[in-house]
Amino acid sequence: KIKMSKLKQCNKNKQRRLDYISNEARRALVRLVFTERLSIRRASKLLLINYTTAKSLITKYTKEGTVDRVNKV
């Protein structure tokens, strides 16, 4: 039987690696999907972007009209 405190320690030790998508790649994704009429899946494969990330970026673009990353000060 595993104690809950032990599970929490295991989860804390795992660090998540973040890959940031450049603004150029974000704009290229939007161009491929909306101008070139490629599917999100195909465009994400061409740009080597995770499909789920690409889908989120396209959703953001349709809602907000931009995909540029906001630089935090």
pLDDT tens, residue by residue, 4-32: 444 455 545 555 555 689 999 999 999 99
DSSP label of 42: H
Predicted TM-score (pTM) of the model is: 0.72
For residue 44 the two structure tokens come to 């994400």
DSSP label of 35: I
Residues written for the chain: 73
Alpha-carbon distance values, 16 to 19, 29, 39, 41 (Å): 10, 24, 28, 24
pLDDT band for 71, please (50, 70, 90 cuts). confident
